[in-house]
Amino acid sequence: MNTIPSETKITIIYIFFAYTFSVLMRLIWVYHFNGYAPFYFNDQFMINTNDGYLWAEGARDLLHGSGVNPDAKEYLDRFHQLHDLSPVGTAASQLTAFFAKILPFSFESVIFYMPAFLSSLVVVPIVLISKSFKNLEAGFIAALLASIAWSYYNRTMAGYYDTDMLNIVLPMFLLWSIMWAIQTQKDVYLLLSALDILVYRWWYPQSYSLEFAFFGLILIYALIYDRKNSFNYKLLAIMMFAMMQTYMLVRLSSVLVVFYIFKQKKFDKYIYYILSVSIIAFFITGGFAPIWNQLKGYVFRESVDATNKGLGLHFFTVMQTVREAGKIPFETFANRISGSVIVFFISCIGYIYLLFKKRIMFLSLPLVGLGFLAYVGGLRFTIYAVPILALGIGFLISELSSNISNLKIRYPSMIILTLAILYPNYKHIDAYKVPTVFSKQEVMVLDKLKHIAQREDYVVSWWDFGYPIRYYTDVKTLADGGKHSGSVDFPLSYILTNPQQEAAKMARLDVEYTEKNFRFKDSHKKEIKDKNFTIFSNIEQMTKDYGFNDTNDFLLNLKTKIKLPKKTRDIYFYLPFRMMGIFPTVARFSNIDLMSGNTIRRPFFYQTNRFKEKNNILYLGSGIAFYQKKGILKIGNQKVLAKSFYVTYYEKNGKLIRKKQLLHQKGDISIIYMRSYRTFLLLDQNMLNSLYIQLFVFDNYDKKLFKPIILTPSAKIYKLLI
């Protein structure tokens, strides 16, 4: 009877304990908030990442459409509506729908706990990689650390339902299969490497940059260390076919055909020709273009996006406001990778030592390089360096411990050192009490709207709330976490920050032009494909259709009576209190001259809930004080006249009361005390008259333009009447 080798048993045991440890650490958040009502909806925890609602929407629609004939009209009605942007074709939604179908748990439980269980699989390739250089203890220590390191935990914790739950697992498996392919020279690892690339691309379409980097490292390795070994070129060729920028079925077929050829010794003499064909196919299919686009988006960022086509409009770019795409302090960078600056430096030393001792680990440089890109390209990339640097410190600890001959000292020393590097990460996890995306009260508002609005209706709000709105209301939105370019956000910003008359007209225009563009694309698919049609932004098309060559003139025209497009659907406005914190950012997107790219004005808006009153002086933080008797604001060293002082509050019956005191007719800044929120607002006249402030803060709406549908302190919904 065959027995399992002891090394394999130890490997399985290490993987099991590391995996269990990782999952349990991710349940600490659940323990902290168990029974906390604001984080529950329908008696289930809600997720804590905005993007997760996108994949949840796709999975929900897949489940609703199951069992319906795809060729039938009924399929579209039950599956999802035309142009609703539901990601039913994405891997995350498909895998979620599969799990929700076969597991005996609610859909909400599946999406909440999936990240904890899938992301913990990262321990498997880490331990297997350490097995390749005969140091399982290093892999076990690394697996424990990597699975709970700050950035990896933050993006894979329970409730963080996003593609990150496999975005490190899959490239780590790819690294393992490549390393074993080179070390063992076994054909099976050729196929595993190619299949991993196919799965990785299916799961995360942006994976091509990392795949290409692995290809480059293998090529360099082959040319320098093992130039005459044809197996290395087989690996490169099959990887290149898997990396082509074309249909999955085409790439899978190519991989299987090439693998069959490589299994036949008689074709070995053609390996260089096959490699050449694979490289040509990669570039012909546009394989390098997405890599360059990613570099431009994250590294070579511009504050204004301009086009040389059409009117040459300039738009404010979203990348300038996305925190995860911005430069981060070194301490944050180090903490997110290893848990502390000290552990980070020791990990770097360990990694360099590992590279020196195990030459094959040079293949891990793409992951480390992408992780270090976070220092200039945004904090989201730090997760890529986490498992590799964890292997570095794990290897260093195991090597240092191996020099201790006394076993009674060696293993306790290894345990103590391991606990020391885990502790700062555990402390972070214990303190990391992030909230759910929406509170129960906010979701209840959207749930009510779901039974009021039709599926073809639009809800207007800022793009941050797009995915949750679509998930809970099953309607359409103008922008979301994936559709939020400057040209898309300009009309939304204009709507939210301008007076009600102009805002209402822009809302109707933007919705109808969005649908018009969908219809245009549907009816001109062949022409667009053959002639590379350019469909300009909504705002540019509006400008042209209304007979203007200058968008500024068109925007001025919105103040007059203009003929609006025929109404094809209803429009609702979702105005949450949480938008208050990002309102200055919202304003930046329309605070730009689209023709020149210059800033129009600098709107003043300040919010604070940290204040104190002393001797009739309100101290509002950030060097701002309000002298109540004189009606004067001191902002830094500058004194300005306050125009008005408002107080709003809710009575017990839910009615909003608002009071106004005029201070100085020629004042510049108004003050609003939202007593029920314990929040002060300081804002100029333009911000005061904006749609968001008037409708949310004051419930002051033009009855000819808007109808209140749901009014609560947490969020308010109005219906557009034009």
Where exactly are the structural domains of the chain?
6-46+105-430, 440-577, 602-720
Q: Percentage of the chain with pLDDT > 90?
A: 76
Q: Which of 300-314, 453-467, 511-525 has the lowest mean pLDDT?
A: 300-314
Distance, CA of 213 to chain centre: 23
- 264 vs 242: CA distance, rounded Å: 20
3-state secondary structure 299-365: CCCCCEEECCCCCCCEEECHHHCCHHHCCCCHHHHHHHHHCCHHHHHHHHHHHHHHHHHCHHHHHHH
- 573 vs 227: CA distance, rounded Å: 64
Averaged over 104-131, what is the pLDDT?
Answer: 97
Helix (H, G, I), strand (E, B) or coil at 637: coil
pLDDT tens for residues 322-380? 555 557 899 999 999 999 999 999 999 999 999 999 989 999 999 999 999 888 877 88
**Parallel, antiparallel, or unpaired: how do β-strands 624-627 and 617-621 relate?**
antiparallel
pLDDT tens for residues 674-689? 999 999 999 999 999 9
pLDDT tens for residues 467-476? 999 999 999 9
Give the pLDDT of residue 311.
82
Question: Can you read off the two tokens belonging to residue 303?
Answer: 């504050």
Residue 296 has pLDDT above 70, yes or no: no
- 389 vs 308: CA distance, rounded Å: 44
- 262 vs 187: CA distance, rounded Å: 8
Local confidence band at 529 (pLDDT 50, 70, 90 cut-offs): low
DSSP letter string, 348-416 = HHHHHHHHHH-GGGGGGHHHHHHHHTHHHH-GGGGGGTHHHHHHHHHHHHHHHHHT---HHHHHHHHHH
CB atoms within 10 A of CB 15: 21
Contact 683, 643 (CB under 8 A): no
Question: Can you read off the two tokens belonging to residue 314?
Answer: 């300039």
Tell me the pLDDT of the chain averaged across its residues: 90
Determine if residue 631 is left, alpha or beta; phi over 0 gives left, psi from -120 to 50 gives alpha, anything else beta.
left
- 401 vs 89: CA distance, rounded Å: 50
Residue 45 has pLDDT above 80, yes or no: yes
Averaged over 518-537, what is the pLDDT?
Answer: 63
From first CA to last CA, the distance across the chain in angstroms is 80
Contact 588, 321 (CB under 8 A): yes
What is the number of alpha carbons within 13 Å of residue 592 lying toward its C-beta?
A: 25
Contact 511, 571 (CB under 8 A): yes
The CATH architecture assigned to 440-577 reads: 3-Layer(aba) Sandwich (3.40)
CB atoms within 10 A of CB 662: 12
Give the pLDDT of residue 68.
46
Contact 364, 175 (CB under 8 A): yes
Taken in order 18, 24, 28, 33, is the CA torsion positive or negative? positive
Give the pLDDT of residue 1.
46
Single pTM value for the model? 0.90
- 104 vs 393: CA distance, rounded Å: 40
Contact 572, 453 (CB under 8 A): yes
Local confidence band at 559 (pLDDT 50, 70, 90 cut-offs): very high
Distances (CA, A) of 716 to 443, 459, 461, 469, 684: 12, 12, 11, 13, 23
